Amino acid sequence: MERLVFGSPMRYIQGRGVLNEALNWLNPNHQNICVVTDAFVLDFIQSTLQRQAEQKKLSIDFVVFNQTITRTHLQNMFDQVASNIPDIVLAAGGGMSIDAGKALAHQFNLPFITIPTVASNDAPTSKNYVVYTDHHQMDYVGHLDFSPWAVIVDSEIIAKAPKKFLLAGIGDAISKKFEAQACLQSQGKNMFATRSSITAVAIGDACFEQIQQHAQAALAIAGTGQSSDALEMILEASILMSGLAFESGGLSIAHAMTRGLTAIPETSRQMHGLQVAYGLLVQLYLDQQHEELNQLIIFYKKIGLPIALKQLGLTQIDKATLHIIADLTLAAPHCKNFSSVLTQQDLVTAMQYIENLDGKER
């Protein structure tokens, strides 16, 4: 049997107010801190982190990154930091800020901590980050050598974030059960280029169960600032469990579909998790899991996830557009983690089927 690598953050901390202890998780060598965030998040985290740094007599700088993650924008950030290279990077905010912080840590071979302020995907838990072209198409995926030093999930902050972010995080997480299973069954590779971990597959199964049980209740209070057990469960599922499942379990068609969907202007504007949720429907059809597909569509309708390209903003669904999506999906490495070799027509047929489902099935 091939070797196995299972990766995870060194520490995962979740709860209301845990931002107030963020710097407690540093080690004595972390004297010089660089926080990468956006202007909006800076307003409500700066004083908290600054106060902790002063109490611990640590140096702390804040780098504001408000741009799309492209090679040019990243290089500008690298040049800004090069004169005072930190000991550790704190990446705080949404997916853009967190990926920018990871890229900075990668550039200078530094440990990093993630502090998500929304739960729109599982990026905080992973060692990967995505870089885009100037036209917002995926350029490449960067891979750090190590997982985060710590992930700090302050549920008091995330509870105030708009509902749409939590919904996207659920859409990203719900696929991991099926993608990790597909990777294991096809003897595919996980994010560490080794065989899929059965531990990660089990985590993906548990993640799916938590979403089924708690998503509706968590979404009902999302954005209000209220706390609940359901919200805490969904945060753990969509950030920690989802991240562990995909990195050590592997990805498949659902995530491969994002390569095609980001090439179409209308669908590229949708959040990653919504694209993945739709991609999972395509994967289930291709894998002939029709009962699971029908049940998932019912669940999507209950919580508001997209069940058609129309709901991702695509108004004109013609064969030429479907061919573009299919071709770029097939070019994604995750397509190898599937039970059969797919063709362009396989994907086009799957998308047409899902688009044409009648009202009864939906």
Cite the annotated binding site for glycerol by residue number.
122, 172, 255, 272
Contact 200, 300 (CB under 8 A): no
Q: Which residues of 244-277 are buried (b: 16+ CB within 10 A; e: fewer)?
A: bbbbbbbbbbbbbbbbbbbbbeebbebbbbbbbb
Q: Which two tokens stand for residue 313?
A: 């903003």
Closest CA to 197 of 6, 1, 3: 6
What's the gap between Cα 112 and its chain centre? 17
Sequence-distant (≥ 6) Cβ neighbours of residue 315 within 8 angstroms: 266
Distance of CA 66 to the CA centre of its chain: 19
Q: How far apart are CA 233 and CA 127, in angstroms?
A: 23
- For 340, the token pair is 């059969």
Annotated binding site for NAD(+): 38, 95-99, 117-120, 126, 132
Contact 95, 272 (CB under 8 A): yes
Q: Show binding-site residues.
A: 38, 95-99, 117-120, 122, 126, 132, 172, 255, 272
> Which pairing describes strands 59-64 and 32-37: parallel, antiparallel, or unpaired?
parallel
Long-range CB pairs of 76-84, under 8 A, 24+ apart, other chains included: 77/36, 77/103, 77/104, 78/104, 78/107, 78/108, 81/34, 81/108, 84/32
Classify residue 358 by burial, with Cβ atoms within 10 Å: 0-12, 13-18, 19+. exposed
Find the DSSP H helices in 108-190. Answer: 155-158, 163-173, 176-185
